[in-house]
Amino acid sequence: GPGVGKTLLCSLVATQVINNWKGDPEGARCPIKFETGPRLVQRIRATFNLPDDDRHHEREEDVYRELRGVKLLILDDVGKEQPRSYRFTQELYWYIVDERVKAELPVVLNSRLPLLGQGSLEDLMGKDTVDRLYGMCRGKSISLKGESYRRLKKIP
């Protein structure tokens, strides 16, 4: 559920990677991309129907290139995007996960959705994508349960 520490845990993973990063001989920036599911969908949708001569806005291929090439991709709050079409999100996530599997690059993902069943990551991302993710993590996942820390601490 909300407020159990999913984003915090992903942030700690990113912090650990940053703190241990020795730099890149090619002068590249830090090798992490932290993206939310809703923002990812919004970025892709914003590329639709752009005029061919538009050089000021990000193109769909630019988004995919960034996500498939970064050393560590962290996808936060996957499932909050409330898709208009599962077909769209299934194709989106399939492409990203498949490219990262082929490149042997990791994905850290968090979601309030269950892995399987109605209203699950499998619905949102597709059976094949979830199967790839399962293979990437060798069937291991972390489940965080409990009350929202915001409610426990009465944070507005």
The answer to whether position 106 is within a domain reads yes
**Rg, the chain, Cα only:** 17
- Structural domain containing residue 103: 6-18+29-48+55-152
Among candidate residues 29, 11, 30, the one with its CA nearest the CA of residue 20: 30
The answer to whether position 24 is within a domain reads no
Residues 6 or more apart in contact with residue 95 via CB below 8 angstroms: 64
The count of structural domains within the chain is 1
What would the pLDDT profile of 92-109 be if each residue is shown by its tens digit? 999 999 999 999 999 999
pTM: 0.83
By CB atoms closer than 10 A (0-12, 13-18, 19+), residue 64 is middle
Residues 6 or more apart in contact with residue 32 via CB below 8 angstroms: 14, 17, 18, 70, 71, 72, 73, 74
CATH number at residue 59: 3.40.50.300
What would the pLDDT profile of 50-70 be if each residue is shown by its tens digit? 777 878 888 888 999 999 889
What proportion of the chain, given as a percentage, has pLDDT over 90?
40
CA distance between the termini of the chain: 17
Question: Which whole number is the average pLDDT over 6-15?
Answer: 87
Residues 6 or more apart in contact with residue 60 via CB below 8 angstroms: 44, 47, 48
Asked if residue 147 has pLDDT above 80, the reply is no
The answer to whether position 1 is within a domain reads no
Residue with tokens 């639709």: 48
pLDDT of residue 52: 79
CA dist 89 and 83 (Å) reads 7
